[in-house]
Homo-oligomer: A and B are copies of this chain.
Amino acid sequence: MRRYRGRVRVMPRAGLLDPQGHAVEQALGALGFTGVGRVRVGRTLEIALEADSEQEVRERLREMCERLVANPVTEDFTIDAVEAGP
């Protein structure tokens, strides 16, 4: 068993309402930022876990996203990084 750190990103699915993103868009405009288009707000999780291989880490991260971390109806997830280390 080795220690790994994985990073997963969960974003609202394209085409669905994203009220948080809309709020940030409005706030950026109010602060004077120009030329700002669509803003989308999602979550990123860093998860430390023990496993035998990077492949096992990716499989378990995917299962965590499917079962808990991401809403399968409204969100898409991406595994952005897997690194060995504490």
Contact = CB atoms under 8 A, between A and B. Distances in A.
Interface in A3-62: 3, 9, 11, 21, 24, 27-28, 31, 33, 35-51, 60
A69 interface: yes
What does DSSP make chain A's interface, helix, strand, loop or mixed?
strand
Contacts of A11: 44, 46
A42 B43 CA distance: 6
Contacts of A24: 45, 47, 68-69
Contacts of A3: 37
B40 A46 contact: yes
A52 B3 CA distance: 43
A54 to B, nearest CB: 14
Interface of A: 1, 3, 9, 11, 21, 24, 27-28, 31, 33, 35-51, 60, 63-64, 67-69, 80
